[in-house]
Every structure is written in C-alpha cells, then in structure tokens.
Amino acid sequence: MKYEACIGLETHVMQKTQTKMFCGCKHEYGAKPNTNVCPVCLGYPGALPVMNARAIELCCKAGLLLGCGINPRSKWDRKNYFYPDMAKNYQITQADEPLCLGGQLTTEVAGETKTFTIERIHQEENAAKNTHISGASLVDYNRAGTALMEIVSNPCMHSSSDALAYMTALKQIMEYGGISDCDLEKGHMRSDVNVSVRPVGQKELGAKVEIKNMNSFGFIVEAIEYEIDRQIGVIENGGTIDQETRGYDTDRGETFSQRTKEDAHDYRYFPEPDLLPVEISAEQIEQWRSELPELPAQRRARYVSELGLPEYDAGVLTAEKAVSEFFDETCQKTKQYKLVSNYLMGKVASLVTEKEISIADSELTAETLAQVAELVAGGTISSSAANELIEVLFTEGGDPKAIVEEKGMAQVSDDSALEIWADEAIAGNPKAVEAYKAGNAASINALMGCVMKASRGKANPPAVIALLKKKLGA
C-alpha cells in the first residue's frame, strides 16, 4: 500500500516590539537575567496586563502579508498550566477568536509552485527561560511576557521538502514584513510539527503525532522524515498510531514518546477577564495594508524588470532581507546594478561566510560599495583589484579612493609604462610572437599574462591588448 504524509506546522514567531506584550518592560536579547521585569511579567499579586498595540499591529500585518482575514473582534483567553516558565501559571493567549483567520503562502518546492493554507494566527505572551543546572533550575523572566504570535498551518504539507519550503518562505516574509528578526539562534522562530500518515486516497487524516518546540530547520526536516518512516513502519507491521507528543533526539536522529493522549493537559481555557476584546476597524486594517512593505516575490520582479538583473541574481539577492536592503541602498548611489549584484553574491558573500560577520556588522557600507562599482566601471581599478578593495573595506572600512591610492591599486593605462612591459613581453616570448603572427590569435594571451605579471595586476587589460596588437603589426 502507498502512504501519504500530512504535515502541519504551528510556528511561534517572536515579534519585533520595543516592549513586552502586556507590560512596559523592555524586550531585549542578552540582557542580564531578571533585569527586564516588573510586577506584571513576574505575576505579582494585583498586577494587571495592558495590551501592547504595536504587537497587535505586527500580528495583523503578518496576517495581511499571508492573505489572512483580520477579525474585527477577537478576544483573550487564559490557558492554565503549572510550570516555572509561566509566572502566573496561566498564559494569556487567544483560543477561539484569534486576530487573523485563513490565509495562504505560495512558494516553490523543487521547481513546482505550491500553495500552503494557513488556518489562523493568534497573539500570545512568551514564557520565561528555564535553565537546569545540577540540583537546581534557574528562571530568567526577561523573556517572560514578550510578544509571541502563533501561525498555524493546515495539515496541507506532504513531505519534509514542503515543510522546509514553507518555513523558509515564512521566515522570509516575517523578516521582510518587519514582523520579526527571525533569528533562529535567538529562538525567534520555533515550530511544533504535526505529522500523520494515511493510505493514499483516504480522506480522513491519520492519528496526529506532535513534535514540540523545534527551532532548527535541519532538525525539523530530519524529524519529519524519521516520523513518516516510523509511522508507516508501525502501520505496515499491523500496529496503530496513537495520538501523542514526541520529542526529537538530535544525537540519535529519532523521535521518542513524551506524552500520550491520556495524560494530555486540560488547559481549562476561559476568557481573560483582565483584558477587553480587541476591536479593529476596517479603516485601521486598510491603513495597515497600505503600510505593508514589498515582499521578496515583488522585489525579485522589480530587480528583473527595473534593474535588468538576471532572475538568478534577483533570487540570490532577495533570499535575505538584509542583503536585499543593502543592495537597494547601494543602488540608490550607483547605476552599476549588475556590478553591485556580482560583488554581493561573490566577494561580499564569501567574506560574510569566511569572517562570520554579517554585512550590517562589517565595515562595508552602501556608499563604499557603490564607489567600488563606480571605480571599476570608470576603469580606475580592475576587477581583481576591486575584490581586494572590498576585502579592505569589509574588514577595516575607509575611503575607497584613498585606499586605491595608498595601496597603488589603480590600473595603469599610461602608454609609456605599458610600452616598456609590452616590449619586455615581446622580447622574452619569441615563440608566442611567432605563433600569433602565424594566425594563432589566442597566443596573445601569453604576452598579456606577462604584462599583467610585470605590472602586478595594475595594467589596464584592454589597453594592453590594444598596445600588443599594434606592436605585433596586426
């Protein structure tokens, strides 16, 4: 029998807000533990939540970017559970009336365009961070109460590559939309993955297994693949799949049972009496819609149609929001779009990998990169000198023209200097000269190489070719 997997993702995205969801505490990564806290986020007696309007805006904008409908009236609920990561021992979330409903995400999976549907997006508050040390547990409430939204897809994906494409596109949209920095290392984006299998042709979904709290795309892919194989194996051996929660052991590459349906929590949801329902007018929604930023797909199209870049370049440049923004900024200062694209995809990208420094954290600026492109286009420096110059600007920064001067990177086009190197090359390579004269046009490259070597790369190649041709009487 053939089986089909059905995969759904519940993705938690930490929003880019200045303050927490229900109090005025700063939302900041890496602060000293328990310094961004107050009676509200510490669950002190008598403290009350107040909604962060910016978080609501970001959640709705995320919904608009994903084609969701915005609920004109949504409400808050309490989700009750005891654990030291939740100071009040209940989480304020949205159970049955979320901010955003419906929606879809269209992306490419192995060259095929697919649309994945989204059930809902709701707003909630984040938990504190627990660290378990020998004999004790430490709780850092800095993260407690930060704004967190949950994007719930339908179980509409059928393979790990579907899930990977969905997550990648989702991450890109969240970054582009300014909703979240989506830094996976900082836990800005975590997913619970639901996996079930069913015989091909069957309509009802199989029993759902949930793999909780994964932040690495790679591990999610592995876990899905393992889980699909495991479930099919169980069924083929005559067994049945039970609804349960499983964890993923990254060392062994296996999922393992954590909690069965019988001991599932009863969260005892009920409406949050401390907060009023959220009411959003049609005018507000239109206002937010008009403020939505350009998405990767729109941006790719613009690069091709307006800047004349190849599709390939447009795809690479828009993969990361920071890169494409740097590109856009640079293109404000130079019209050498293709050159800028080449450097960003080539030298700059390799420096980012090699030095492990992002463009933003490097010394390179849109202004200096634009100048590099202008220097190349104007013939002042060669392409190889440009790479050298970019490395200096990336690591040390500075004024490109001054560096060119200081390091003697300018191309030599001056005939008198070139003439000496050309004469030396002709004198030192009689065989190449002979071959050229006999009709082997490519032989001129050997002479050209000698000139470039003698000039230590500074000779202007078109000028050298012209001079050699003249001297060889062609």
Instruction: Pull the structure tokens for residue 112.
Output: 């095929």
Q: Which is nearer to other proteins, 276 or 441 (CB)?
A: 276
Q: How many CB atoms lie under 10 A from the CB of residue 242?
A: 13
Binding status of residue 426 toward Zn ion by CB under 5 A: no
Q: Which of 3, 29, 38, 328 binds Zn ion (CB under 5 A)?
A: 38
Q: Which is nearer to other proteins, 89 or 305 (CB)?
A: 89
Amino acid at 307: L
Contact partner, 47, from Zn ion, other proteins, none, Cβ < 5-8 Å per class: other proteins
Instruction: Say if residues 296 and 176 touch (Cβ distance below 8 Å).
Output: yes
Binding status of residue 205 toward other proteins by CB under 8 A: no
Binding status of residue 195 toward Zn ion by CB under 5 A: no
Per-residue x/- track, 102-141, other proteins (CB under 8 A): -----------------------------------x-x--
Binding status of residue 95 toward other proteins by CB under 8 A: no
Cβ 90 to Zn ion shortest distance, Å = 16
Binding status of residue 7 toward Zn ion by CB under 5 A: no
Instruction: Pull the structure tokens for residue 373.
Output: 């492109």
Binding status of residue 41 toward Zn ion by CB under 5 A: yes
Cβ 87 to other proteins shortest distance, Å = 7
Label residue 135 exposed, middle or buried (CB < 10 Å: 0-12, 13-18, 19+).
exposed
3-state class of 236 per DSSP? helix
Q: Which is nearer to Zn ion, 25 or 339 (CB)?
A: 25
Instruction: Say if residues 298 and 305 touch (Cβ distance below 8 Å).
Output: no
Contact partner, 275, from Zn ion, other proteins, none, Cβ < 5-8 Å per class: other proteins
- How far apart are the C-alpha atoms of 65 and 235, rounded to whole Å? 39
Instruction: Say if residues 41 and 50 touch (Cβ distance below 8 Å).
Output: no
Label residue 321 exposed, middle or buried (CB < 10 Å: 0-12, 13-18, 19+).
buried
Cβ 271 to other proteins shortest distance, Å = 8
Binding status of residue 473 toward other proteins by CB under 8 A: no
The DSSP string of 125-147 is EPPPEEEEETTEEEEETTSTT-E
Label residue 78 exposed, middle or buried (CB < 10 Å: 0-12, 13-18, 19+).
buried
Q: Which of 18, 28, 44, 355 binds other proteins (CB under 8 A)?
A: 44
Element (H, E) at 390: helix 383-395
Pairing label, strands 69-70, 73-74: unpaired
Amino acid at 422: A
Cross-strand partners of 74: 278
State the residue for tokens 């002479």. Answer: 447
Q: Which is nearer to other proteins, 139 or 352 (CB)?
A: 139
Name residues contacting other proteins, limited to 71-90 (CB under 8 A): 78, 80, 82-84, 87-90
**Residues near 413 by beta carbon (within 8 Å), at least 6 away in sequence:** 379, 460, 463
* Residue among 454, 382, 383 at smallest CA distance from 422: 454
Contact partner, 438, from Zn ion, other proteins, none, Cβ < 5-8 Å per class: none
Phi/psi for 281 (5° steps) reads: -80, 160
Name residues contacting other proteins, limited to 219-278 (CB under 8 A): 266, 268-270, 273-276
* Residue among 176, 172, 168 at smallest CA distance from 294: 176
Q: Which of 7, 14, 25, 62 binds Zn ion (CB under 5 A)?
A: 25
Cβ 173 to other proteins shortest distance, Å = 31
Q: Which is nearer to other proteins, 44 or 312 (CB)?
A: 44
Contact partner, 25, from Zn ion, other proteins, none, Cβ < 5-8 Å per class: Zn ion
Contact partner, 50, from other proteins, Zn ion, none, Cβ < 5-8 Å per class: other proteins
Q: How far apart are the first and last CA of the chain?
A: 74
Cβ 244 to other proteins shortest distance, Å = 18
Binding status of residue 410 toward other proteins by CB under 8 A: no
Q: Which is nearer to other proteins, 42 or 472 (CB)?
A: 42
Residues lying near Zn ion in the complex (CB under 5 A) are found at 23, 25, 38, 40-41
Residues lying near other proteins in the complex (CB under 8 A) are found at 39, 42-51, 78, 80, 82-84, 87-90, 137, 139, 266, 268-270, 273-276
